[in-house]
Amino acid sequence: MDVVNQLQRQFIDYSASLHREGFLDDQFTQLQKLQDDNSPDFVVEVASLFFEDCEKLINNMARALEQQQGVDFKQVDASVHQLKGSSSSIGAMRVKDVCIAFRSFCEAQNRE
Amino acid sequence: MGNMATQTQFHVLAVDDSLIDRKLIERLLKTSSYQVTAVDSGSKALEFLGLNGENEDEEMDSSVESVSAADEDHQVGVNLIITDYCMPGMTGYDLLRKIKQSSSFKDIPVVIMSSENIPSRINRCLEDGAEEFFLKPVKLSDVNKLRPHLMKGITTKNEMQSNTNKRKGSEEIQSPDRTRPRYNELEVV
Q: How many Cα atoms occupy the beta-carbon half-sphere of B114 within 13 Å?
A: 19
Does residue B78 contact residue B21 with C-beta atoms inside 8 Å? no
Does residue B95 contact residue B105 with C-beta atoms inside 8 Å? no
Q: What is the CATH number of the domain that holds A56?
A: 1.20.120.160
**% of chain A beyond a pLDDT of 70:** 96
Classify residue B160: in a domain, yes or no: no
Instruction: Identify the three-state secondary structure at position B83.
Output: strand
Classify residue B179: in a domain, yes or no: no
Instruction: Identify the three-state secondary structure at position B87.
Output: coil
Choose among B1, B10, B42: nearest CA to B151. Answer: B10
Quote the number of domains for chain A.
Answer: 1
Does residue B95 contact residue B88 with C-beta atoms inside 8 Å? no
pTM for the structure as a whole: 0.72
What's the confidence (pLDDT) of residue A70?
75
Classify residue B161: in a domain, yes or no: no
- Higher pLDDT pick, A77 / B140: B140
What's the confidence (pLDDT) of residue B81?
95
Does residue A109 contact residue A73 with C-beta atoms inside 8 Å? yes
Interval B53-70: pLDDT, tens: 444 444 444 443 444 444
Cross-chain residue pair A88–B136, CB shorter than 8 Å: yes
Residue B2 to residue B113: CA distance in whole angstroms: 37
Classify residue B41: in a domain, yes or no: yes
Residue type, A92: A
Name the residue range of residue B122's domain. 11-51+75-154
Overall average pLDDT of the A74-90 stretch: 85
**% of chain A beyond a pLDDT of 90:** 1
Which residues on A lie below 8 Å from B140 (Cβ)?
A: 30, 33-34
Name the residue range of residue A4's domain. 1-108
Classify residue B149: in a domain, yes or no: yes
User: Would you place residue A28 in the very low, low, confident or very high pLDDT band (cuts 50, 70, 90)?
Assistant: confident
What's the confidence (pLDDT) of residue B155?
65
Quote the number of domains for chain B.
Answer: 1
What's the confidence (pLDDT) of residue B8?
65
- B136 to chain A nearest CA, in Å? 7
ipTM above 0.85, yes or no: no
User: Residue B83 forms beta bridges with which residues?
Assistant: B15, B112
Look at A44-48, A101-105, B6-10, B88-92 and tell me which has the smallest mean pLDDT. B6-10
Cross-chain residue pair B18–A90, CB shorter than 8 Å: no
Overall average pLDDT of the A3-24 stretch: 82
Q: What is the CATH number of the domain that holds B116?
A: 3.40.50.2300
Classify residue B63: in a domain, yes or no: no
Q: How many CB atoms lie within 10 A of CB B140?
A: 13
Cross-chain residue pair A34–B137, CB shorter than 8 Å: no
Q: With a cut of 70, which residues of chain B have pLDDT below it?
A: 1-8, 51-76, 154-189
Interface A-B, measured as beta-carbon pairs within 8 A, has a size of: 50
Classify residue B96: in a domain, yes or no: yes
Residue B82 to residue B128: CA distance in whole angstroms: 15
Cross-chain residue pair A53–B19, CB shorter than 8 Å: yes
What's the confidence (pLDDT) of residue B30?
92
- A56 to chain B nearest CA, in Å? 13
How many secondary structure helices (H) and strands (E) does chain A include?
5, 0
User: Would you place residue A110 in the very low, low, confident or very high pLDDT band (cuts 50, 70, 90)?
Assistant: low
Overall average pLDDT of the A37-58 stretch: 88
Does residue B110 contact residue B90 with C-beta atoms inside 8 Å? no
What's the confidence (pLDDT) of residue A96?
81
What's the confidence (pLDDT) of residue A111?
59
